[in-house]
Amino acid sequence: MNFLQMIIPLNITKTISDWISSIMPETAASYTIMVVIAVAYLALFAVAGLYLVLLERKVAAWFQLRIGPNRVGPWGLLQTMADALKLVSKELTSTIKIDKFLYNLAPYFVIVSALMAMAVFPFSKQFQAFDINIGVFFLIAISSIGVIGILLAGWSSNNKYALIGAMRSGLQTISYELSVGLSILTMVLLTGTLQLSEIVEAQRTGGWLILQGHIPSIIAFMIFMVAGTAETNRAPFDLVEAESELGAGFHTEYSGMKFAYFFLAEFINMFIISSIAVVLFFGGWLSPFGITENIAWFPEVIWFLIKVLGLIFLMMWFRWTFPRLRVDQLLTLEWKYLLPLNLMNLMLMAIIIWLNWTI
Amino acid sequence: MERIIFYILAAVIILFAVASVTSRKILRAVIYLLFVLIGIAGLYFLIDYNFLAAIQLTVYGGGIIVLFIFAVLLIHHVELELEKTALKKKLIAGLLSAAGLAVTLWAISTYPFPETGSAYTSVEVADIGKILLSYEDGGFILPFEVISVLLVAVMIGAIVIAKGKKLTENN
């Protein structure tokens, strides 16, 4: 199992994996390491989700000149933990006339596809669970599975608001997937590889890709952030769960932990979109100007997280600044503006690479 | 290890394929079909053909199945069940499937499966792209172009059908 090398800086995981191999026979050790990695990613998933919810509430409060959650723990740090505990202890209710099997299955589609996408990200040079040679394409493939969960949730709830929400979501995700894919493709032209670790390595010498590809890169980044926000169903593209029209959209009928799965998946998807942007445009875990490149013990994962949090803040800024789009405006934006712009941008990038005008 | 994963995937594919054709709730049938397709993608991952696996997930999982779900969402209600098929139809379908199975089994049993001497290297996306656009021997540029023309024709046809009378009345 050569792809299961997860060696964090400071070599904690290397030490752990050596220790496990030393006390067990080889096969048992490899299974144990797999389980440990899975548990580590699940923990990361839960913690990231919970603290992004808290961050969203704090940022929202800041934009609206409020204080935000401040009662549970210092600065309200334990608020979302308490919320999660409350959700776990809640009863899972459902209505009678639903399709039980699909109703129970739907949240897992959303959460599993988000978790699978997490596996391929290079958090730092050695902290990557699955360095697949088609990394970026794998991410696009996985993200196209997630929408099935939303469609199923809406349909099996047997509720007209949920169904309308699901239809809108399908419409939106299928349309904006094109823009996400094409803007990623523009950057792949520049790197010439789909493997995420190699994309990061390509930025070590030439500078971050957003500088290497200058004009088309910046256009691609803007389109990616707009389309990415739409993919995660967040405001200003949140007509999927528009509270004032649809109740809660596709997850109206869900309660307790199943509701929490949808809720967490939204925040994890935001994390995923920001991570793709960081890897493709901002040099992944590389430090700016190489300032920590020679410090061997410095955990590079910190740079990755700082950049990701910066982009997440940008997405939250969108949410609390722009009003919600109507469904026809949503489709006009994608099909009449973003898509033609994206195709032209792709050609521009090809010409720039052909003429060797990259920096 | 690989053998165990293969048998698990094969069992999943067969079970859900049977469930898909026997289910009388149409959306459940679609979801069982999705599991079959994901299982096949798993087989591609197992033989280290990642590109084809990702294609399988995007085209079938993200494209075709979502299209099916959309169609079901538009025309079907959650409580409806499909009607039972008549015995005659069942018999004909059964015979046809048995014939198909026989052809497949015959093809597999007569193919010699020669061993390749060279060591296996995983397929790079760049190579696939080069062969797809190559016009030399073994290149796929002609089918590629034919399929693009076909797709354009299909899109124009879809627009004409969807617009219907509006197209001629308003020009």
Residues B40 and B98 in one domain: no
Chain B within 8 Å of A148 (Cβ-Cβ)? yes
Q: Does B64 share its domain with B23?
A: yes
From the CA of A98, how many Å to the nearest CA of chain B? Answer: 7
Q: How far is B116 from chain A (nearest CA, A)?
A: 24
Same domain for B4 and B51?
yes
Residues B2 and B77 in one domain: yes
pLDDT tens string A153-210 = 888 888 888 888 888 888 888 888 889 999 999 999 888 888 888 888 888 887 888 8
Half-sphere exposure of A44 (CA within 13 A, CB side): 19
Average pLDDT over residues A16-41: 80
At residue A37, the pLDDT reads 83
Q: Residue B52 has which token pair? A: 């084809």
Domains of chain B: total: 3
Residue B39 inside a domain? The answer is: yes
How large is the ipTM? 0.83
The Cα of A142 is separated from the nearest Cα of chain B by a number of Å equal to 7
Name, in order, each residue with C-beta under 8 angstroms of A117's C-beta and a sequence gap of 6 or more.
A139, A142, A143, A272
Token pair recorded at residue B70? 């959309």
Do both B95 and B162 map to the same domain? no
pLDDT at A14 over 70: no
Please answer whether residues A120 and A195 qualify as being in contact, where contact means their C-beta atoms are separated by less than 8 angstroms: no
Q: Inter-chain contact A141–B57, Cβ cutoff 8 Å?
A: yes
Residues 201-260 of A with CB under 8 A from B: none
Q: Looking at the domain assignment, is residue B118 inside a domain?
A: no
Count of beta carbons in the 10 Å neighbourhood of residue A212: 18
Is B119 within a domain? no
Same domain as B94, residue B27: no
Average pLDDT over residues A204-224: 87
A74: distance to nearest CA of chain B, Å? 44
Interface of A with B in 116-145 (CB under 8 A): 132-134, 137-138, 140-142, 144-145
For position B17, what pLDDT does the model report? 93
d(CA A30, CA A9): 21
Q: What is the pLDDT of residue A3?
A: 41
Non-local (6+) Cβ contacts of A309 within 8 A are: A55, A274
Quote the minimal CA–CA distance from A161 to chain B in Å. Answer: 13
Residue A96 class from Cβ within 10 Å (0-12 exposed, 13-18 middle, 19+ buried)?
exposed
Look at A147 and B62 and tell me if their CB atoms are within 8 Å: yes
Work out the mean pLDDT of chain A and round it to a whole number: 84
**Phi-psi category of A207—alpha, beta or left, where left has phi over 0 and alpha has psi -120 to 50?**
left
B-chain residues near A27 (CB < 8 A): 1
Average pLDDT over residues A31-39: 83
A51–B contact, CB cutoff 8 A: no
A178 Cβ under 8 Å from any chain B Cβ: no
Q: What is the pLDDT of residues A110-165, one digit of tens each?
A: 888 888 888 888 888 777 777 888 888 888 888 888 888 888 888 888 888 888 88
Q: Output the CA angle A315-A321-A323, nearest 5 degrees.
A: 105
Domain boundaries, chain A: 94-354
The whole-angstrom separation of Cα A22 and Cα A29 is 8
B78 has a chain A CB within 8 A of its CB: yes
Residues B59-74 have pLDDT tens digits of 888 888 888 888 888 7
Interface with A, mutate which of B38, B125, B159 (most A CBs under 10 A): B125
Residue B105's CB is within 10 A of a number of other CB atoms, namely 10
Same domain as B7, residue B72: yes
Specify the residue for token string 């690479």. Answer: A353
User: Domain with B16 in it: what CATH number?
Assistant: 1.20.120.1200
Query: From CA A203, how far away is CA A185, in angstroms rounded?
Result: 17
Q: Does B65 touch chain A (CB under 8 A)?
A: yes
Instruction: Collapse the DSSP code of A127 into the 3-class scheme (helix H, G, I; strand E, B; otherwise coil) and give the result.
Output: strand
Residue A12: pLDDT band (50, 70, 90) is low
Report the distance separating Cα A120 and Cα A57, nearest Å. 28
Place of tokens 């096969």: A27
CB A229 within 8 A of CB A237: yes
Cα four-point dihedral sign A220, A221, A226, A231: positive
Looking at the structure, tell me whether residues B132 and B162 fall in a common domain: yes
Quick one: average pLDDT of A332-355? Answer: 92
Range of the domain at B70: 1-81
How high is the pLDDT of residue B170? 59
Which of B31, B66, B122 lies nearest to residue A174, judging by beta carbons? B66
Residue B126: closest CA among A186, A185, A187, A193: A193
Q: Is the pLDDT at A5 greater than 60, yes or no?
A: no
pTM: 0.87
